Amino acid sequence: MDTWIKIVFLVVMGALIGGLTNLIAIRMLFRPYKPWKIGKYQVPFTPGLIPKRRHELAIKMGETVKNHLLTAEGIQSKVTDPAFIDEITSLVKTEARGVLESDITLQRFLAEQLNVSNAEAVISEKAKSFVQDKLNAILDEVKEQTISELLPSSMTAAVDRKIGGAAQFIVDKGIAFLQSKDGKETLSKGIDAFLAERGMLLNMLSMFFGNVKMVDKLQPEMIKLLKQPQTKETIEKLIRQEWEAAQQQKAGKLQDIMNAETWIEPGASQIVSQLPITNLLHQPLNGIPDQYKEAILERFIPRIVDLFMKSLNDRLAMILDKLQIAKIVEEQVETFSLERLEQIIIDVAKKELTMITWLGALLGGIIAVFQALILMFL
């Protein structure tokens, strides 16, 4: 009987020693928070492991978070996840819908939410700059193309069909001008100028025959000439030649002839001046037509969210590098009180730490049983 009491006593003591040993070891990870000293000598194992290695722990935690937890690849997989994008889009739509149903004006919204006090001037300037850039881009893009490449085939065909009519129009206008009083006077002045350049003999002939007679004789002949079919055919041929030559010219040459750069800025200003920017800024947002609201919510916002996510994804590595995640984590851990750090770790690993304590007690009890058996056989 005494033997069994001794065995039980040894087992209990072994279990207590094993459990207490592990419990003290766990506590010594954190405590004491400060070194203990006896005189000028520091007590071994003080402070605890974590207080003693706190700086190294902060650095390692920062590196772990940066390299294994909060990585660019991990965040990129999230921001490119269609379900996440849909969730963000839905959230933005909800916020936008609330704004669009309010009676606040766009000008007030921009002033209060985005701190844009001179919205009209800013929007006008931005719109003007946008139009100028687009016009310049278009001119640069088509500079090396020919006119025939730029014009639609239907337009060139229409011009070709109109050339014959244009030639006839010129002939008819020429005949009408010559038959008019102004035309006759112009022709008479032309004859006078011609004869004045041909010397004394022609002047004598002019005085002899009289200028009026020469005009009366020349005018009908010129009208007859214009009425000849060959005249119209010649004019039409000349127009076609010029039209075909013009189609082969590069747009850049036409831009230089028209000095396009000088009218891009005035043209952009004129376009922007036609935009209802003032009315738009002073109109309550709930007064915007439903079709425009629907376009904003269903087309504009999804596109903006998509562009934002793509831009964020492309620049994520650079952003994380600039944020210095490891440094942030290190600084935060350094600012933790040791009590808080201890509580965090214990809360996370409470179950495992308890199991370690009980495992120590179990091992202590088992060792005590073997010790008791050895003593019995001795």
Secondary structure E strands in 16-113: 37-38, 41-42
The DSSP code sequence of 197-209 is TSHHHHHHHHHHH
- Give bridge partners of residue 250 from the DSSP assignment: 146
What is the rounded CA–CA span in Å between residue 375 and residue 378? Answer: 5
Cis, bond preceding 284 (omega within 30 deg of 0): no
| Whole-number Å distance between alpha carbons of 14 and 364 | 4
- For 241-269, b/e burial (b = at least 16 CB within 10 A) is eebeeeeeebbeebeeeeebeeebeeebe
Write down the pLDDT at residue 378: 63
Q: Give the pLDDT score at 89.
A: 92
> What's phi and psi for 180, nearest 5 deg?
-85, 165
Residues 6+ apart with CB under 8 A from 208: none
Instruction: Report the SS3 class of residue 46.
Output: coil
Tell me, what's the pLDDT at 330? 84
95-132 per-position pLDDT tens digit: 888 888 888 888 888 888 778 778 888 888 888 898 88
Give the pLDDT score at 1: 52
Task: Report the pLDDT value the prediction gives residue 91, as an integer from 0 to 100.
Answer: 92
Q: Using CA atoms, how far apart are residues 60 and 68, in angstroms rounded to an integer?
A: 11
Residue 158 sits at φ, ψ, to 5 deg, of -65, -40
The whole-number pLDDT of residue 288 equals 80
Provide the residue type at 61 as one letter. Answer: M
- As a whole number of angstroms, the distance between CA 186 and CA 179 comes to 11
* pLDDT at residue 211 in the model: 45
Tens-binned pLDDT, residue by residue, of the chain (378 aa): 567 777 778 778 888 888 888 888 888 877 787 888 887 888 777 787 777 887 888 888 888 888 888 888 888 888 889 999 999 999 999 988 888 888 888 888 888 877 877 888 888 888 889 888 888 888 888 888 888 888 888 888 888 889 889 989 998 998 888 888 888 888 778 777 766 665 554 555 555 554 446 677 778 888 888 888 898 899 999 999 988 888 888 878 777 777 777 788 888 888 888 888 888 888 888 888 888 888 888 899 999 999 999 998 888 888 888 888 888 888 887 887 777 777 877 787 778 878 888 888 888 888 888 877 777 776
Residues 160-170 pLDDT 10s: 889 889 989 99
- The answer to whether 316 and 75 are in contact (CB under 8 A) is yes
pTM for this entry: 0.52
The DSSP annotation for 117-148 comes to S-HHHHHHHHHHHHHHHHHHHHHHHHTTSBHH
